[in-house]
Amino acid sequence: MLLKQLVLINFRNFSEKKIDLNPSLTLIIGKNSLGKTNILEGIYFFVNGLGFREIKEEELLSFGKDEAIVEGVLAINENEDLLSAIKMSLIDHRISKKFFINKTEKKHSQYFDYQVRTILFSPEQINIIIGSPQLRRDYFDKIISVFDLEYKKKLINYQAALRRRNKVLELRIPVDKLREELKFWDEYLIEQGSYLTKKRQAYIDFLNSNQDLDSKKFSIVYQKNEITELRLKESFPEAVRFRKTLIGPQKDDFQIFITSTGKKNVHHFGSRSEQRLAVFWLKINEIKYLEKYFKKKPIILLDDIFSELDQNNQKIIVPLISRYQTVATTTEESVIGLIKTSKSVIKL
């Protein structure tokens, strides 16, 4: 499936922008702040129904506007196109989104079934490696949720139930009564939480079965914090003292190791370029996962990553461009010469 055309109306800084995409590479070139990343976000939104930078959805609407439309043409095969669109409106300070396939309204999940998939590479993703465990959990949750709606549901349930359990822990009531009050939440959290642990483990196993990247090898350790009856019981006195649930997958972490001469923890000891490679390792495995289990070929979105690529990393990224439809942004004209595949250049 290929994305042939995209139209952004009142999306971020574009009041109206039409983009024709190359089946191979579309290179978006422009000085800072002209809207390169916004175009990639437009594609991402068109596919996924959400952007990748907003804190509130209304940030995606152009300043002062209350309606945005993102529509596009997907080629299913040589003779058949699919017209899809998302209309986003701000009504009474709330965003409502409508999804259309060939002008017929669909549910978000139905719309997504028709869609191509996207894999985004951006410089900020280095935070998966150097940032807090929360960022790593968010990263894996997002990936698994896209493939597994049950996971998404259980994650939301788990987070809501955890807040409720912590509220109970804040009650100033006798310990016996507290135990009684927690019983329901404990069972519920174990049920939802163990599913999260199992699925996170499965994805980590998949990563560990695909360790090679170029001449390097990566591996990942899942530092799981399981929620079980026994562990809840053992941590109960401390939970009472801190008035908080102290165990469970909300405390999970993941640590990546690189093996070249020896094995070392990339988060603590990796050079910046090794850390960047670790991100590529994760991202390239996202593509493999998508292709292996879902038989879908993604569109690759490369946001401003050429400026950071040394020759080694180019060896990893450039072949991707020849295998997948790619949309890349850059401020540097010299990138045009760097990639030999057929391409379209859009100058902003």
Report the alpha-carbon distance of residue 17 to residue 10 in Å, rounded.
9
CB of 289 to ligand ATP, least distance (A): 28
Q: Of the candidates 45, 60, 74, 53, which has an alpha carbon nearest to the alpha carbon of residue 14?
A: 60
Is residue 125 a contact residue for Mg ion (CB under 5 A)?
no
DSSP string across 26-67: EEEE-STTSSHHHHHHHHHHHHHSS-SS-SSGGGGBPTT-SE
Q: Yes or no: say if 190 and 229 are a contact pair by the CB < 8 Å rule.
A: yes
CB of 36 to ligand ATP, least distance (A): 4
**Sign of the alpha-carbon torsion through 313, 316, 321, 324:** negative
Is residue 131 a contact residue for ligand ATP (CB under 6 A)?
no
Instruction: Name which position in 26, 37, 84, 245 contacts Mg ion (CB under 5 A).
Output: 37
Report the alpha-carbon distance of residue 169 to residue 178 in Å, rounded.
7
CB nearer to Mg ion: pick between 252 and 304? 304
Is residue 17 a contact residue for ligand ATP (CB under 6 A)?
no
Is residue 89 a contact residue for ligand ATP (CB under 6 A)?
no
CB of 195 to ligand ATP, least distance (A): 37
Is residue 33 a contact residue for ligand ATP (CB under 6 A)?
yes
> What does 34 bind: ligand ATP, Mg ion, none (CB cut-off 5 to 8 Å by kind)?
ligand ATP
Residues written for the chain: 348
Contact range with ligand ATP by CB under 6 A, out of 31-39, 121-129, 194-202, 285-293: 31-39
Is residue 32 a contact residue for ligand ATP (CB under 6 A)?
yes
DSSP annotation of 297: P
Identity of the amino acid at 186: D
CB nearer to ligand ATP: pick between 60 and 220? 60
Chain residues in the site for ligand ATP (CB under 6 A): 12-13, 30, 32-38, 59, 61-63, 304, 331
